[in-house]
Amino acid sequence: MKILYILKQDLDETGEKILQEHKKMAEVTVIDLRTNKNYEEIIELIEKNDKIITW
């Protein structure tokens, strides 16, 4: 399974725990929208991942 995290802010303690658990069982990619504005790349990643989580 492939999971994409799209961040609009820093993860809180709960979010960090969830991310670490997902990394144990899936391929996880994290994109921070505050620093990455390459929307073409982001759309491509959305299409290629099984789950998308926004935070």
Summarize pLDDT for 5-54 with one digit per residue, the tens.
999 999 999 999 999 999 999 999 999 999 999 999 999 999 999 999 99
| Sequence ranges of the domains in the chain | 2-54
Q: Which residues contact residue 26 at a Cβ distance below 8 angstroms, ignoring those fewer than 6 apart?
A: 1, 2, 3, 51
- pTM of the full predicted structure? 0.92
Show the tokens assigned to 13.
């303690």
By three-state DSSP, how is residue 32 classified?
Answer: strand
Q: What pLDDT shows up at residue 37?
A: 94
Distance in angstroms (rounded) separating the CA atoms of residues 36 and 7: 10
